[in-house]
Amino acid sequence: MTARTLINVPAKAKRGEIIEIKTLIAHPMETGFRVGLNGALIARDIITTFVCRYNGEEIFRADFSPAIAANPFLTFFTVATATGTIEFQWTGDDGFSATESAPITVE
Amino acid sequence: MIGYLFAYLSACRPCESRDPYPVLSQSAAAYESRLCGRHSASKTRVIALMMALAGTTQRFVFSTVVLLTTLPAFATEIPPAERRSDYEFMSAQTRAMQDDDSANPGMLSVLDGEALWNHRDGAADKSCTDCHSDARSSMKGVAARYPAYSPALGRPIDLEARINLCRTEHQKATPLKFESKELLGLTAYLALQSRGTPIDVASDARARPFIAAGRELFNRRMGQINMSCAQCHDDNWGQKLAGAPVPQGHPNGYPLYRLEWQSLGSLQRRLRNCMSGMRAEPYAYGAPENVDLELYLMSRAQGLKMEAPAVRP
């Protein structure tokens, strides 16, 4: 099962308008510093990178650290320039990868 | 009227201990009968006591609890007009997180639950949809009526137990474990269908003895700290404990996403959490005592609107 995500991008925007984008993804963000019941260290399992592309062009990137809570929520702003697709990509430990996209109409 | 003051030197909120059975290195026997009464100013006493409590992560940290209290004989239940959802005690930021479905992490579990609702399972190869069709209409308001009396079992069962009964009886599948991703997801998906519905648990003759048992548990002192639920949530709601507001303790948002847990959790998890914080041995998941407490809490919150999946600090 791929990770659950919730994306909030306005369906429509005026050209030049500043729009808010919200992303939420289900992920344990295991720090790698905790020990389990058997005393052994629990391996680190975090999202390391998030990238957002607007019609293929990278507009936002974030590097994650073990201190970030489970189910990371990111919100950021961009300028609505053209009708198209906004793509989101999360990559992390253990080959974790999730992608999501949202359409936007610019008038 | 002199109010009261908790001066905590370390993180020792009764509800917040993560250490299930910490060692109490000094007797707390001096603890007085009732902490405080909101509605009585008849008699004022000063209790000062030193307790050594094992802190959340530090061991043997001394914390001082100073209480200036007024002492009524018994706690009074919150009058219906003063009942407020725990939502109202939260910061604006946490409320905003709950209100926005694209920011509320509980909605991720709802997506899990929705998928499971339509997933065929068990020897009968049936999905929930096969019997109940679309949950958005068939399950509307259902969670607001649970725990509900089960004639077959002769006692009330909560939503989690109801889901597992459906699984074993109709799907011929194995019951889901408490706090598993699957059970939390299904419960969250069902509870969401009652969002905005006022709590309406039955208080008929069949349910009454169990509500009474739950009320008795709510008022019973327990654990090494020798506290009852009522001492915080009936007597001292709206006051501060270690800087955080003491809410009324209503169950209208469960299952809910707790930022401290970094996950969704059931009402039973919350109850067990409070009990271990009071240094009491928590009742096992699914134990009748937990269900009685759940039922009493729901009847105590009768009329409050459901807001699951809620977000709490």
pLDDT digits (tens, 9 = 90+) for B120-145: 999 999 999 999 999 999 999 999 99
Nearest CB among A6, A70, A71 relative to B102 is that of A6
CB A86 within 8 A of CB A41: no
Position B228 scores a pLDDT of 95
What pLDDT score does B38 carry?
42
Tell me how far CA of residue B206 lies from CA of B203, B209, B219, B298, B301, in angstroms. Answer: 8, 7, 22, 16, 19
pLDDT tens per residue across span B277-302: 999 999 999 999 999 999 999 999 99
| Cβ contact, residue pair A24, B102, below 8 Å | yes
Q: Of these residues, B15, B166, B232, B274, which one is catalytic? A: B274
| Distance spanning both ends of chain B, measured CA to CA | 31
CB-CB under 8 Å, A69 with B259 = yes
Which CATH number do you get for residue B296?
Answer: 1.10.760.10
Coil/strand/helix, residue B128: helix
pLDDT of res. B76: 81
Q: How far apart are CA B91 and CA B133, in angstroms?
A: 38
- B-chain residues near A8 (CB < 8 A): 100, 102-103
Look at B108 and A24 and tell me if their CB atoms are within 8 Å: yes
Mean pLDDT of B230-245: 93
pLDDT at B189 over 90: yes
Distance from CA of A28 to the nearest CA of B (A): 8
* Widest Cα–Cα separation across chain A: 59
User: Which pLDDT score is estimated for B75?
Assistant: 57
Tell me, yes or no, whether B308 lies in a domain: yes
Q: Which among A5, A24, A69 has CB closest to B262?
A: A69
Q: Is residue B36 part of a domain?
A: no
Domain encompassing residue A31: 5-106
Q: Cβ distance B173 to B125 under 8 Å?
A: no
Place of tokens 């930021």: B93
Query: In terms of Cα–Cα distance, which of B121, B143, B136, B240 is closest to B191?
Result: B143
CA nearest to A21 within chain B: B102
Active site includes B274?
A: yes
The pLDDT confidence band at residue B109, using thresholds 50, 70 and 90, is very high
What pLDDT band is residue A2 in, cutting at 50, 70 and 90?
confident
Q: What is the largest CA-CA distance in chain B?
A: 65
Q: How many domains does chain A have?
A: 1
**What per-residue confidence (pLDDT) applies to B27?**
33
Structure tokens at B16: 């917040």
Q: Do B103 and A24 touch (CB under 8 A)?
A: yes
Which is more confident, B23 or A58?
A58
**Structural domain span for residue B166:** 78-313
- Residue B298's alpha-carbon distances to A57, B232, B246, in angstroms, are 52, 17, 18
- Are B28 and B59 in contact, with CB atoms under 8 Å apart? no
B3 within domain boundaries: no
Q: Which two tokens stand for residue B108?
A: 């991720």
Nearest to A29 by CA among A53, A65, A3: A65
The number of domains in chain B is: 1
B7/A contact by beta carbon, under 8 A: no
Q: What strands, in cross-sheet order, belong to the sheet with A73-79?
A: A5-8, A18-25, A73-79
Phi-psi region of B279 (alpha: psi -120 to 50; beta: other; left: phi over 0): left
* Contact assignment for A70 to B263 by CB distance below 8 Å: yes
Q: Name the closest residue on chain B to residue A69, using Cα atoms.
A: B262
The first and second tokens of residue B166, run together, are: 């459906």
- Provide the token pair at A76: 């950021």
User: Are B253 and B199 spatial neighbours (Cβ–Cβ below 8 Å)?
Assistant: no
Q: What Cα–Cα distance (Å) separates residue B116 from each residue in A41, A94, B165, B176, B190?
A: 32, 26, 16, 12, 11
- Tell me the pLDDT tens digit for each residue of B145-188: 999 999 999 999 999 999 999 999 999 999 999 999 999 999 99
The answer to whether residue B11 is domain-embedded is: no
Residues in A lying within 8 Å of B, measured between beta carbons: 4-8, 22, 24-26, 29, 69-71, 73, 75
* pLDDT of A17 above 50: yes
Percent of chain B with pLDDT over 70: 76
Rounded to the nearest angstrom, the minimum Cα separation between B267 and chain A is 21
Report CB contact under 8 Å: B108, A22.
no
Determine if the pTM surpasses 0.95.
Answer: no
Q: Which of A42-56, A65-79, B70-84, B98-112 has the least mean pLDDT?
A: B70-84
Distances (CA, A) of B219 to A37, B5, B93, B230, B237: 34, 22, 33, 5, 15
Provide the CATH number for the domain around residue A50: 2.60.40.10
Residues 6+ apart with CB under 8 A from B259: A69, B94, B311, B312, B313
- In degrees to the nearest 10, what's the CA dihedral of B247, B251, B255, B257? -10
Does the pLDDT value for residue B266 go beyond 50? yes
Q: How far is B166 from chain A (nearest CA, A)?
A: 24
Residue B45 has pLDDT above 90, yes or no: no
Is pLDDT above 70 for B33? Answer: no
CA distances from B48 to B7, B235, B244 (A): 11, 19, 21
In a domain, B57, yes or no: no
B65 found inside a domain: no
Q: In chain B, what residues touch A22 (CB-CB under 8 Å)? A: 100, 102-103
What CA–CA distance (Å, rounded) separates A44 from A34? 9
Helix (H, G, I), strand (E, B) or coil at B293: helix
Does the pLDDT of residue B47 top 60, yes or no?
no
Cβ pair A71:B103 closer than 8 A: no
